[in-house]
Amino acid sequence: MTIKQHIHSILITTIIITPHAHSITRTIEPTRSRSTQHYTVAIIGTGYVGLVSGAGLAEFGNTVICADIDQNKIDILNNGNIPIYEPGLKDVVARNIEARRLMFTADVDAAIKQADAVFIAVGTPMGADGSADLSYVESVVNTIARNIDNYKVVCTKSTVPIGTGAWIERTLLAHGVDADLFDVVSNPEFLREGCAVKDFLEPDRVVIGANTQKALNIMCGLYNHLFAQGTPHVLTTVTTSEMIKYASNAFLAAKLSFINEIANLCDATGGDAHTVAYAMGLDNRISAQFLKPGPGFGGSCFPKDSQALLYMGEQNNVKLPVVQASLITNETQKTKPLEKLLQHMHNNLASKTVAVLGLAFKANTDDVRYSPARQTIQGLLDHGAHVKVYDPAAMENMKALFPAIEYCDDTYQAVENADAIIVMTEWDVFKHMNLERVRSLVAQPLLIDARNIVNTDELTALGFTFDTIGRAYLNQ
């Protein structure tokens, strides 16, 4: 390591723990003994965050008990299956069960009792007013209060509003739990659905918010495997750590809304937003990631967390117009694929057959929460179209929302007799579909590509009329 790299690593691993956010009164560093300790972790909640974090922490060498009140989920896991769609997760889970570092149980009380650290990884869905609904978190905190009889770190892994750590502490104390028996810590997760395993095992950074030395040592012990290989880590207060998660998600959401606005302007002026994004991304200060124009962001995180940040702003009398604008732009963006289709079909979709390729909010997930495909399908139905759909993983989840549309077995069945195709999700299977075969099956060669993944030269050669978001076509 060069001197410069060494100084850089010291800087990024500098630990500033302040009991009060505004006054740096002392500096705590993890003590050396942390590396030799072995800890047991209880992860409460076996959804995306809980399951991936549990498997990942076990992969780092810790003993992990994943607990969930849903016995059905636990049975599935104990039978060697994974209740969610997440590439690569099954292997990590199997490997760690085999190594006896990972266990699953519906006995949440027992899991908590055995743990040095209890990770809260239950859902924090969006409440009616945009706030994060903490009822599941509260229920876990109550369970911890009933079972805690020796010192434990209580760690929030789910995205929780700023101030939740302090609220958990107050709640445990109100239950009569001795203050010496616990410390509340924040350790936000930055995993993306679809590449969550890699994101956990090879993160850009680990953020830990802890207000005591004891808690910090345990948390650093859990991540020692990563720290030993030089993963940057930010050790800070609980409140700052909670804020880092929201700020990161809202910033990425705003970045997407920005490039989508540029894409719309490109569509109106003939510019090419993808080239604009590429050139912007070459500037290290901007970076190329999260600059792909599309049908708007979805999923359980960006919409929910941006909304929750706005709510926190309102509660604290702080205006956040950038965050608000990014959400407004995103809602408009979700209407673009249908708008483009209507332009090409002279506003008439009555009795037309439209094939929607892709239902998930992005590729490599079965998640349809806030998926732009939902707006598109609803819009198509409102205009009287017959809707045929295909998605490699998300059809079951969409059936619950749109039971009456036609679910197909593959791309080709979906496009058969279609008057138009809309590509909503960037699955590989759509990138590589056989366009010649598609051309032979459709009633009309019209394709709207909301993800800019279909080969436009081939589309042109096959006589398709096509449109996308933010792409200028010299040959159209």
> Residues in the site for ligand UGA, rule: CB under 6 A?
159, 189-193, 249, 252, 256, 290-292, 294, 297-299, 301-302, 361-362
CA distances from 99 to 59, 94, 95, 277, 373 (A): 9, 9, 6, 45, 41
Q: What is the DSSP string of 379-397?
A: HHHHTT-EEEEE-SS-HHH
Fill in the DSSP letter of residue 335: T
Smallest gap from residue 297 Cβ to ligand UGA (A):
4
Q: Which positions ≥6 away from 155 have C-beta within 8 Å?
A: 117, 118, 119, 120, 184, 185, 186, 187, 219
| Residue 176, Cβ density class (10 Å: 0-12 exposed, 13-18 middle, ≥19 buried) | exposed
Closer of 294 and 337 to ligand UGA (Cβ): 294
Smallest gap from residue 188 Cβ to ligand UGA (A):
8
**Identified catalytic residue from 66, 155, 220, 301:** 301
Smallest gap from residue 257 Cβ to ligand UGA (A):
10
What 3-state class would DSSP assign to 425? coil
Smallest gap from residue 200 Cβ to ligand UGA (A):
10
Q: Are 470 and 258 in contact (CB under 8 A)?
A: no
CA distances from 58 to 192, 199, 227, 324 (A): 19, 15, 15, 39
Closer of 95 and 192 to ligand UGA (Cβ): 192
Report helix angle 164-174 to 135-147, nearest 10. Answer: 40
Closer of 132 and 172 to ligand UGA (Cβ): 132
Smallest gap from residue 133 Cβ to ligand UGA (A):
15
CA atoms within 13 A on the CB side of 31: 9
Strand bridging mode 233-236 / 152-156: unpaired
Closer of 210 and 363 to ligand UGA (Cβ): 363
Closer of 101 and 362 to ligand UGA (Cβ): 362
Is residue 301 annotated as part of the catalytic site, yes or no? Answer: yes
Residues designated as active site = 301
